[in-house]
A and B are shown apart, each in its own frame.
Chain A
Amino acid sequence: MTRPTRTKSSLINTNKKLSFVFNGKKYEGFQGDTLASALLANDVKLIARSFKYHRPRGIFTSGSHEPNALVEIIHDDYNEPNSKATTVELYEGLVAKSQNCWPSLKYDLMSINDKFSKFIGAGFYYKTFMWPSFFWEKVYEPVIRKAAGIGKLSKNKNNTNSEKGFLYCDLLIIGSGPSGLISAFIAGLSGIKVIIVEEDYVFGGSLNNEIFKISNMSPQAWVKSILKEIRKLSNVRCIENTSVIGMFDHGVFGAIQKLKESKIEQIFWKIVSKKALLCSGSLERLIPFQNNDLPGIMLSGSIRSYLNRWGVSNFDKVLLFTNNDDTYVTALDLISNGINLIGVVDTRDNPRIFDTKIKVFKSSQVVNATGKLYLKGVDIVNKEGELTHLKCDYLGISGGWNPNIHLSCHTGVRPEWNEKIYAFVAGKKNVSTHLKAAGSANGKFSLNECILDAEKQVLEILSDLEMKPKKYSLPKIKEQSFEIDPFWFVKIGSQRKWVDLQNDVTVKDIEMAYAENFRSVEHLKRYTTLGMGTDQGKTSNVTGLAILASLSNKSIPDVGTTVFRPPYIPLSIEALVGSSIGKNFKPTRLTPTHNWARDNGASFTETGLWLRAEYYSQKNEYHWRMSVDREVNSVRNSVGFCDVSTLGKIDIQGKDALEFVNKVYCNGFTKLPVGKVRYGLMLREDGIVMDDGTTARMSENHFIMTTTTVNAESVYRHLEFCHQCLWPEMDVHLISTTDAWAQIAIAGPNSRKIISKIVDKQFDVSDKNFPFMACKEITICGGVLARLFRISFSGELAYELSIPTQYASSLASYLMEIGKDENIIPYGTEALGVMRIEKGHAAGAELNGTISALNLNMGKMVSNKKDSIGMVLSKREGLNTLDGLRLVGLKPLKANNQLISGSHLFNSSDTITPRNDLGYITSSCYSPTLKSYIALGFLKNGCNRHGDKIKISNPILGKEDFAEVCNPIFVDTNGEKLRA
């Protein structure tokens, strides 16, 4: 070859060489190249194998609509499959390889599929893998899974740093071609906040592919000059390397930005904009004919891009095949670069003559392409049916242009057919998103029309926003024309003609689907996979519809269209996840005594978002049970304390606070005096238990409610619902104070001694003056504000002490110091749990969303003398059967046999079948007090079965055991201890 492989282009820096590796071989490209342009310049035509038939495929386009040239980019520690060679910006040391081929791209064994193509046409899977049905899971699916799929994941951890961000603007402009730039300029001058995003790594859109003059400048120079003006405006933000992937309701857009030479490699932007202008240009479509998928065949406009933008000029003999005027621009550019243009095959009878140097084959069609791994020549047929063979190494095809309206469909708005350009344009009904299309994306295919349209749209937007434009001038452009003949596909020839290159869908497949009555576009798509995959049929969809229309003798708008869905381009899940991963997936809440507990040997457990001390290990303890048993024994014999700050605390105040509390709990509260606490059971409106806790009446109109740890948020939300939506006239105010107050439980027979030592002298905590269920606002340690409640979760004499959060750690240390004589110990959630099971208190495991008050043996608590949430429906017949589930205690016949939560209960002589199921175990533990395993559970008719022997079955673990049914309160049945 005598010609240099590159012509001059301002967008390629030939002084900066970049070396890269493709399929193990080293090549050189330049700064400004994509992987595709560098490969083309190196005469690499065969890039990939197709998805289904493993046909050889080359580069077909020059952008993100590429169906063929999918490659795997190899990073140090992971691979990035399905990267489009046409959008990957070349960098020094890039390593890429082909997909869908084995053992090599040139000799792909799976290409055997191509030979059997007659048998694996449309609907092959549906028809073949039907019988026998059990074969599906065992044989068919594994085999199909192995052979199918585009690209492979490396399965290594991907160390890309992703972030998420928010952006706000008045006008979002999508695309920076001529329409986008003009719009950004006019809108920016007016002073509104504008964001213009460009998917490419350079601004300019289609102008980067052209060499005609704009205002006596090259298009690239014009882009540079207007960008300079735009960048002067501080209210306009220009972002390149960013694809808008979706449009959502109310002007919310998702966009993915790729960053170079930055610690953060990608940012997922959520852009909220009052208005949006779609300036995404248009995408060229193909024309199906026999073997139109050979490497060397690409879109006519893409040949022009590679020539003008990337200076790729190693095209030897080029032929063009078209039904419209745009291809002649490519023809002229090829000639002016001295490339051997064989001619233009035009389907039209009288195409306009652009230049006499161009040889035009009028009224002709390319009917077949020849070559094995790449294009060698084509057969063309004229109106008279005469066949001519032409040798060529590149064929540029153009079946017309589709406005790139992908985004306009995302909120469910269907595109509309435009008979002038034979393509779909954006539907007009984008009410909630305020999206408009402009320029080429709006079906204006000549540059002057484009610019005038952009001006019109942006002025309308400014007037909607009640802004006045400032003075501006539009560039001068030579008049252009765009005429097109609705020629969709070549009918001649019986071999396969490719419609959707990525999914290997042929004209024949569409005919077959039609013959088998899959005639609606939606059926056609699913049956043939037309328009699926990473390119979403950007080059093929409309052509497919046209074929369906011709089969059914309908017009294209009558056939209809499928709508595009987000995302516009594929994006990795991790881009959406951002940094919310691993430890950052959710916040971690630490208790007020966390650091103290950590320094004192605590192990922690997750409870919702909280980390709570589970147990405190001492030196000689090598098993958690040793710590837990010791903690329980210490509390039961002397005293211990536990941080229970995680329980939800809701402060309720107002003249109607008492009435409010009385309405949200099913049990009566009207008689609760000031200075007393009461247990409250909260139902859902359907009569099922929502939560339980205690509520203290601190003064006439001031209540403090506690909730379980896990329900703190939902109970608060529920109370706000009750107040705002049901009884707004009530004078009541709610606020969550969970984080403001630390709460420490001090439990055990010696707990009063400890309390006496810290409470300030003026407060009397004797049993007489501060009895069981008393509460009071007090001060401790010489003036620290506190609230003392005499309540017990363990069954022992116990108190809960609330203090402002910041004092909690000091209090813990202080308690250890003053409690030395009583051998005070801190205890964790395990000991807390053991003691509440021993005492038969229901907790999260029992309040499981299916349990009524009656199931908890608390049926009588539900007052039917007042209105409360859930009261009416708790009286439903189905919830009140005599033989329903009741909370019971269970003791294994052998004390050392562990009872397992989740096991089911059966009569000892019954077989283990669902029909015989009598209930289940909810909580279990080893009780150091009883020196036996114990459990709580729900058993049918349980109250009348105390003393019965019952079978416990756990089929998952394959275990069976026997236990005795008993009172769920294992210790201090009469409650003497807590009243001591």
Chain B
Amino acid sequence: MIIDHPLLGPRDASEFIYLGDASLLNRPNWDEEKSEDNFYKYLYLRENVAGMHKELWFHQQGDRSWLVISRNTVTHEIFKVELATELKKNMGKSND
């Protein structure tokens, strides 16, 4: 697999570490009534997608960027690679 890093260009997948579903970016608030339930859903419930999937990869042997990769889980085609930082900032959903 080749991952087209937004800053460094195409890099071999062996430089990266996979974490999982990019929904981990949407961390719930801690101080709401239903926060325990929200955290439970955030941490344990996942869509098992056959098709387009956004997922988190870490460039461990590189620039240490966390990337959000849009990948088709069936064909392994990669459509988009974004810096998690940028994506999260644009989501405007940061907890603070």
Interface residues of A (CB under 8 A from B): 166, 248-252, 270, 272, 411-412, 431-432, 685-686, 713, 717, 720-721, 724-730, 867, 871-873, 875-876
CA distance A876 to B88 in the complex (A): 28
- Shortest distance from the beta carbon of B67 to any chain A beta carbon, whole Å: 9
Most chain A C-beta atoms within 10 Å of own C-beta, residue among B10, B12, B25, B75: B75
CA distance A413 to B76 in the complex (A): 12
Q: What 18 new A-B contacts, CB under 8 Å, besides A411-B75, A724-B66? A: A248-B1, A249-B76, A270-B12, A272-B2, A431-B75, A685-B43, A686-B43, A720-B58, A721-B66, A725-B88, A726-B25, A726-B88, A726-B94, A727-B95, A729-B96, A867-B30, A872-B39, A873-B39
Contact of B84 among A249, A685, A724, A876 (CB under 8 A): A724
Q: Tell me whether A873 and B12 are in contact (CB under 8 A).
A: no
CA distance A876 to B25 in the complex (A): 22
1/0 contact trace for B58-96 toward A, CB 8 Å? 101000111000000001111000011110110000111
**Which residue in chain B gives the minimum CB-CB distance to A723?**
B85
Task: Decide if B27 is an interface residue (CB 8 Å cutoff).
Answer: yes
Q: Tell me whether B88 and A724 are in contact (CB under 8 A).
A: yes
Question: Residues of B within 8 Å of A, CB-based: how many?
Answer: 37
- Shortest distance from the beta carbon of B64 to any chain A beta carbon, whole Å: 6
Q: Tell me whether A685 and B75 are in contact (CB under 8 A).
A: no
Q: Which 10 A-B pairs have the closest CB atoms?
A: A250-B2, A867-B30, A728-B85, A249-B76, A724-B66, A872-B39, A725-B84, A724-B85, A249-B1, A432-B77
Q: Tell me whether A725 and B25 are in contact (CB under 8 A).
A: yes
Task: Decide if B31 is an interface residue (CB 8 Å cutoff).
Answer: yes
Q: Which of B7-47 contact A (CB under 8 A)?
A: 10, 12, 17, 19, 24-25, 27, 29-31, 35-36, 39-40, 42-43
CA distance A725 to B35 in the complex (A): 19
- Shortest distance from the beta carbon of B11 to any chain A beta carbon, whole Å: 10
Contact A876/B66 with A250-B78, A251-B2 known, Cβ cut-off 8 Å: no
Q: Which residues of B contact A720 (CB under 8 A)?
A: 58, 64, 66
**Which residue in chain A gives the minimum CB-CB distance to B36?**
A872
**Which residue in chain B gives the minimum CB-CB distance to A248?**
B1
A-B contact pairs, 19 of them (CB 8 A): A249-B76, A251-B2, A252-B2, A272-B2, A685-B43, A717-B60, A720-B66, A724-B85, A726-B25, A726-B27, A726-B95, A727-B94, A727-B95, A728-B84, A728-B85, A867-B31, A871-B30, A872-B36, A876-B36
Contact of A252 among B1, B29, B39 (CB under 8 A): B1
Q: Tell me whether A250 and B1 are in contact (CB under 8 A).
A: yes
CA distance A876 to B40 in the complex (A): 10
Contact of A873 among B10, B36, B84 (CB under 8 A): B36
Q: Tell me whether A725 and B24 are in contact (CB under 8 A).
A: yes
Q: Tell me whether B19 and A728 are in contact (CB under 8 A).
A: no
CA distance A249 to B2 in the complex (A): 7
**Which residue in chain B gives the minimum CB-CB distance to A877?**
B36
- Shortest distance from the beta carbon of B40 to any chain A beta carbon, whole Å: 7
Q: Which residues of B contact A721 (CB under 8 A)?
A: 19, 56, 58, 66
Q: Which residues of A contact B88 (CB under 8 A)?
A: 724-726, 728
**Which residue in chain A gives the minimum CB-CB distance to B78?**
A250
**Which residue in chain B gives the minimum CB-CB distance to A872?**
B39
Q: Tell me whether B95 and A867 are in contact (CB under 8 A).
A: yes
Q: Which residues of B contact A412 (CB under 8 A)?
A: 75
CA distance A560 to B87 in the complex (A): 44
Q: Which residues of B contact A411 (CB under 8 A)?
A: 75-76
Q: Tell me whether B96 and A727 are in contact (CB under 8 A).
A: yes
Q: Which residues of A contact B27 (CB under 8 A)?
A: 726
CA distance A717 to B58 in the complex (A): 8
- Shortest distance from the beta carbon of B46 to any chain A beta carbon, whole Å: 14
Q: Which residues of B contact A717 (CB under 8 A)?
A: 17, 58, 60
Q: Which residues of A contact B95 (CB under 8 A)?
A: 726-727, 867
Contact A873/B94 with A411-B76, A431-B77, A725-B24 known, Cβ cut-off 8 Å: no
Q: Which residues of A contact B30 (CB under 8 A)?
A: 867, 871-872
Q: Which residues of A contact B84 (CB under 8 A)?
A: 724-725, 728
CA distance A274 to B33 in the complex (A): 53
CA distance A957 to B85 in the complex (A): 52
Contact A725/B56 with A249-B1, A872-B39 known, Cβ cut-off 8 Å: yes
CA distance A685 to B60 in the complex (A): 21
- Shortest distance from the beta carbon of B85 to any chain A beta carbon, whole Å: 4
CA distance A411 to B94 in the complex (A): 39
CA distance A50 to B2 in the complex (A): 42
- Shortest distance from the beta carbon of B21 to any chain A beta carbon, whole Å: 12
Q: Tell me whether A432 and B96 are in contact (CB under 8 A).
A: no
**Which residue in chain B gives the minimum CB-CB distance to A432?**
B77
**Which residue in chain B gives the minimum CB-CB distance to A412?**
B75
Most chain B C-beta atoms within 10 Å of own C-beta, residue among A251, A717, A728: A728
CA distance A574 to B56 in the complex (A): 32
Q: Which residues of A contact B12 (CB under 8 A)?
A: 166, 252, 270, 272
Q: Which residues of A contact B85 (CB under 8 A)?
A: 724-725, 728
Q: Which residues of A contact B1 (CB under 8 A)?
A: 248-250, 252
Q: Which residues of B contact A272 (CB under 8 A)?
A: 2, 10, 12
**Which residue in chain A gives the minimum CB-CB distance to B56?**
A725
Q: Which residues of A contact B19 (CB under 8 A)?
A: 721
- Shortest distance from the beta carbon of A497 to any chain B beta carbon, whole Å: 39
CA distance A867 to B58 in the complex (A): 24
CA distance A685 to B44 in the complex (A): 11
CA distance A928 to B9 in the complex (A): 58
Q: Tell me whether A432 and B76 are in contact (CB under 8 A).
A: yes
- Shortest distance from the beta carbon of B74 to any chain A beta carbon, whole Å: 8
- Shortest distance from the beta carbon of A189 to any chain B beta carbon, whole Å: 26
Most chain B C-beta atoms within 10 Å of own C-beta, residue among A250, A411, A727: A250
Contact of A872 among B35, B58, B65, B83 (CB under 8 A): B35
Most chain A C-beta atoms within 10 Å of own C-beta, residue among B36, B39, B77: B39
CA distance A875 to B86 in the complex (A): 32
**Which residue in chain A gives the minimum CB-CB distance to B76?**
A249
Q: Tell me whether A728 and B89 are in contact (CB under 8 A).
A: yes
- Shortest distance from the beta carbon of B14 to any chain A beta carbon, whole Å: 9
**Which residue in chain A gives the minimum CB-CB distance to B27?**
A726
CA distance A867 to B36 in the complex (A): 13
**Which residue in chain B gives the minimum CB-CB distance to A734?**
B64
Q: Which residues of A contact B39 (CB under 8 A)?
A: 685, 872-873
CA distance A728 to B89 in the complex (A): 7
CA distance A713 to B60 in the complex (A): 9
Q: Which residues of A contact B10 (CB under 8 A)?
A: 272
Q: Which residues of A contact B42 (CB under 8 A)?
A: 685
CA distance A272 to B3 in the complex (A): 12
**Which residue in chain A gives the minimum CB-CB distance to B89?**
A728
Q: Which residues of A contact B89 (CB under 8 A)?
A: 728-729
CA distance A207 to B94 in the complex (A): 65
- Shortest distance from the beta carbon of A716 to any chain B beta carbon, whole Å: 8
CA distance A713 to B58 in the complex (A): 12
CA distance A81 to B87 in the complex (A): 54
CA distance A721 to B89 in the complex (A): 14
CA distance A252 to B40 in the complex (A): 39
- Shortest distance from the beta carbon of B17 to any chain A beta carbon, whole Å: 7
CA distance A790 to B74 in the complex (A): 55
CA distance A375 to B66 in the complex (A): 66
